[in-house]
């Protein structure tokens, strides 16, 4: 570094995923779009590679008056947004615990505020060993590190034993602990924890020292693209039954659910056992917001509030989203089937924007695939494919290409 201070962070020269996506664009410009598959993008694209934006949401956006988008929003979010986003996150479920909401710039802001308020500088944040890289970036940015537990057993189930081992170890070392669980439709694997997995997690906390505090951050960024909305919310009552020393925090992202990625809208919602814990959540998180981005964008808050105030409009948004979700699910299934057909191992997959393929040499395989015009993201333990950004037809083609590449390099 020349002038900038590293401050315990590892700062790369460029964002890895955006770097690969740029190379994909360059190649497409040179050899033609039809010869390039860009499976790097974390947004839902149509079969021609164009960003999908819900028309119903776009119409509401275009109808906003200056007051509805240009005025400052309160630090914690507008009252109408807070009401709406609770419904958006919980669906038909009404939590028994005390809920408070703090608006955030995307789900990312919710992660940042949770780590800054529920862990101490120098602490470790517990995440799965397949994880969304910004968890580490955000942790480092505010003086924390991540520690990983093994996500899957040999049989491809949630590894509750390794989770427990890491929780107990960190609770010995730290007074407080932030745990991030991204489910359903986990990024990067597409895995969804079952209700039983969540009950097993609860059982662990019932036996951990009650004087240690755990913030259980449930990153539900992809909840509306996993399948039936209510079925995938069935784990919520388990959060309500957590012991008092565990604070479930829902990390909600409007980016995917409403296809407004760039508008930077999300929320963190606590389900607290006492009003005091909920009020403290609100005060501490609003303080953090004020000290980092101040208030959030008003326009998407107004859009979401309007959708929830108008049942007809809400129905239109839901129906439109359901069509695209079904398209996404078909792509995921096509990838799974093709992987099975050619004998390519996948990391346990359920649904969502991404699927992953485990391998010992992901960087090498990804570089080789790039030469063939297939752009995917190498991670520590495998390669991530965004089925959200690739047509069903190409989802069927990719597994055999990965397999062939792995065999070629491993000869």
The token duo for 315 is 């129905």
SS (H, E, C) 17-62: HHHHHHHHHHHHHHHCHHHCEECCCCCCECCCCCECCCHHHHHHHH
Among 148, 187, 192, 301, binds ligand PLP (CB under 6 A): 187
114 forms part of the interface with ligand PLP (CB under 6 A): no
Q: Which residue has the tokens 């040499």?
A: 361
221 forms part of the interface with ligand PLP (CB under 6 A): yes
- Give the range of 30-38, 78-86, 106-114, 304-312 binding ligand PLP by CB under 6 A: 106-114
Among 39, 42, 190, 399, binds ligand PLP (CB under 6 A): 42
288 forms part of the interface with ligand PLP (CB under 6 A): no
297 forms part of the interface with ligand PLP (CB under 6 A): no
Q: How far is CA 218 from CA 64, 221, 266, 406, in A?
A: 32, 9, 13, 34
77 forms part of the interface with ligand PLP (CB under 6 A): no
CB 299 within 8 A of CB 69: yes
Strand partners, 386: 354
Backbone angles phi, psi at 126, to 5 degrees: -90, 125
User: Distance of alpha carbon 196 from its chain centroid, rounded?
Assistant: 21
Of 78, 43, 105, 108, residue with least CA distance to 265:
105
The least distance separating ligand PLP from the CB of residue 297, rounded to whole angstroms, comes to 12
Counting residues that bind ligand PLP (by CB under 6 A) gives: 13
- Give the range of 16-24, 102-110, 140-148, 362-370 binding ligand PLP by CB under 6 A: 102-110
Of 261, 259, 321, residue with least CA distance to 297:
261
Q: Which is nearer to ligand PLP, 253 or 356 (CB)?
A: 253
Q: Which is nearer to ligand PLP, 255 or 302 (CB)?
A: 255
The residue count of the chain comes to 411
The least distance separating ligand PLP from the CB of residue 245, rounded to whole angstroms, comes to 25
Q: Which is nearer to ligand PLP, 255 or 295 (CB)?
A: 255
Query: Which residues contact ligand PLP (rule: CB under 6 A)?
Result: 42, 106-108, 132, 182, 187, 219, 221, 253, 255, 261, 266
């Amino acid at each position: 570094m020349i002038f900038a201070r590293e401050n315990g962070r590892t700062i790369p020269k460029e964002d890895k995923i955006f770097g690969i996506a740029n190379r994909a664009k360059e190649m497409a410009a040179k050899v033609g779009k039809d010869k390039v598959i860009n499976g790097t993008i974390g947004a839902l694209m149509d079969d021609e590679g164009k960003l999908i934006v819900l028309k119903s949401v776009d119409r509401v956006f275009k109808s906003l008056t200056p007051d509805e988008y240009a005025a400052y929003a309160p630090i914690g979010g507008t009252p109408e947004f807070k009401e709406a986003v609770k419904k958006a996150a919980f669906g038909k479920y009404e939590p028994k615990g005390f809920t408070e909401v703090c608006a955030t710039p995307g789900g990312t802001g919710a992660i940042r505020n949770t780590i800054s308020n529920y862990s101490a500088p120098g602490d470790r944040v517990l995440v799965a060993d397949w994880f969304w890289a910004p968890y580490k970036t955000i942790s480092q940015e505010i003086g924390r590190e991540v520690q990983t537990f093994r996500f899957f057993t040999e049989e491809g189930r949630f590894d509750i034993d390794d989770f427990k081992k890491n929780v107990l170890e960190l609770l010995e070392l730290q007074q407080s602990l932030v745990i991030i669980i991204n489910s359903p439709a986990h990024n990067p694997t597409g895995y969804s924890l079952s209700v039983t997995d969540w009950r097993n997690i609860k059982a662990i906390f019932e036996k951990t020292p009650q004087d240690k505090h755990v913030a259980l951050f449930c990153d539900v960024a992809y909840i509306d693209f996993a399948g039936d909305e209510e079925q995938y919310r069935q784990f919520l009552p388990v959060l309500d039954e957590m012991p008092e020393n565990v604070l479930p925090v829902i990390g909600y992202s409007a980016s995917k659910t409403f296809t407004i990625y760039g508008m930077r809208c999300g929320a963190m919602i606590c389900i607290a056992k006492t009003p005091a814990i909920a009020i403290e959540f609100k005060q501490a998180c609003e303080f953090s917001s004020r000290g980092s981005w101040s208030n959030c964008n008003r326009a998407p808050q107004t859009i979401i509030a309007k959708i929830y105030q108008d049942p007809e409009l809400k129905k239109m948004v839901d129906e439109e989203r359901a069509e695209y979700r079904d398209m996404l699910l078909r792509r995921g299934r096509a990838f799974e089937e093709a992987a099975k057909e050619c004998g390519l191992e996948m990391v346990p997959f359920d649904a969502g924007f991404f699927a992953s393929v485990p391998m010992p040499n992901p960087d090498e395989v990804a570089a080789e695939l790039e030469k063939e015009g297939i752009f995917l993201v190498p991670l520590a333990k495998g390669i991530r494919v965004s089925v959200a950004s690739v047509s069903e037809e190409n989802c069927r083609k990719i597994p055999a290409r990965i397999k062939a590449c792995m065999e070629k390099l491993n000869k």
